[in-house]
Amino acid sequence: MNNVSNGCHVAIVGATGMVGQEFIKILLQRQFPLASLQLYASDRSAGKKVFVGHQEIVVKETANDSFDSVDIALFSAGSETSKHFAPLAAKAGALVIDNSAAWRMDLRVPLVVPEVNAEDIKKHKGIIANPNCSTIQMVVALYPLHKVNPIKRITVATYQSVSGTGVAAVEELTKQAKTVLEGGNVVPHVYAHQIAFNLLPEIDVFLENGYTKEEWKLVEETRKIMHAEHIAISATCVRVPVFVSHSEAIQVEFTDYMPPDEARSILSKAPGVKVLDDPNVSLYPQPWLAVGTDEVYVGRIRSDASYVNGLVMWVVSDNIRKGAALNAVQIAEEAVKCGWVRQQGNNK
């Protein structure tokens, strides 16, 4: 393990993907203290050159010994890749920050949104999980309210963009939109059905309880991050023909009455949140406007007409930035700042 105060040796696994590319952008934008950067992907990308600032870095195939001199490994190459390589990277001494679902509910692995539970980072044993994109933006918006007035119940409907599925889905929406507009027939590949000009209430696999795995992630991950096992949560996750940014219609029931103005006031001071809420001038968060930005936007805050201690709100964020790469880099920054990069024990 190197002394990270002189900069970190960072590896990105999944460097050619949507989130991998955003990792590179964000590390540079935030001037993350880099001693070196190594880029890994599958054998399909080995030898490919990627510009990092003015420097060209050759992508390598991820191998068991890729992490021998790495301080921080940012993973975004799917669950199977993480299950195999993350423990090896942790064993080699790297702090793994993993964007897949592989480790999120593992009791030994902290699941972190820095605005909510940064202190959990220090409990890591080599792997820290980055939550699901929909969970991240929801807890950033709800936790500041929960601290003031504990939440009892959440009902959420998500409107999730195709970039959450990866590069292939972005290409699929582009091609399908063109095909439909030209009067052609669409043959879906990435999703079960056509996504262009359509909505699909199916994200990840269906579970025996009738929910999808994506919906269940929102339930379990929210409780783990907020340390609030008692909150009742129900979610419906919908894939929408939007390229980037996820939106959420959230209904929250608090312990006591929460006036909308109080919620606006709390959220306007909350870290990572920007309130956009003025119906008089049609001001509210929109996926298009959130693209490439770091905030979680909250608007349409109003009392819930169906129960007394409830609020309804509309929450939007760039799923590739705060929903994935930015959150992971923020975890890395916090770990470096607090001297928590070195692992506390082994995951395996």
Q: Which residues bind ligand A2P (CB under 6 A)?
A: 13-18, 20, 41-42, 44-45, 62, 77-78, 81, 166-168
What is the DSSP secondary-structure string of 174-237? Answer: HHHHHHHHTT-----SSSSS--TT--B---SPBPTTSSBHHHHHHHHHHHHHHT-TT-EEEEEE
Helices and strands in the chain: count of H runs, count of E runs: 9, 14
Task: Please state the closest distance from residue 40 (CB atom) to ligand A2P, in A.
Answer: 6
Q: How far apart are CA 99 and CA 160, in angstroms?
A: 17
Task: Please state the closest distance from residue 319 (CB atom) to ligand A2P, in A.
Answer: 12
Place of tokens 């506390």: 344
Task: Please state the closest distance from residue 270 (CB atom) to ligand A2P, in A.
Answer: 30
Instruction: Give whichever of 16 and 212 is closer to ligand A2P, judged by the CB atom.
Output: 16
Residue nearest to ligand A2P (CB): 17
Task: Please state the closest distance from residue 189 (CB atom) to ligand A2P, in A.
Answer: 13
Closest CA to 320 of 165, 115, 111: 165
Instruction: Give whichever of 17 and 287 is closer to ligand A2P, judged by the CB atom.
Output: 17
Task: Please state the closest distance from residue 182 (CB atom) to ligand A2P, in A.
Answer: 26
Place of tokens 């096992």: 229
Rounded to 10 degrees, what is the CA torsion of 214, 215, 219, 225?
30
Closest CA to 241 of 283, 180, 185, 304: 180
Instruction: Give whichever of 81 and 245 is closer to ligand A2P, judged by the CB atom.
Output: 81
Hey, which residues are catalytic here? 133, 246
Classified as helix, coil or strand, 70 is coil
Q: How far apart are CA 240 and CA 285, in angstroms?
A: 16
The amino acid at 146: H
Instruction: Give whichever of 66 and 330 is closer to ligand A2P, judged by the CB atom.
Output: 66
Instruction: Give whichever of 11 and 116 is closer to ligand A2P, judged by the CB atom.
Output: 11
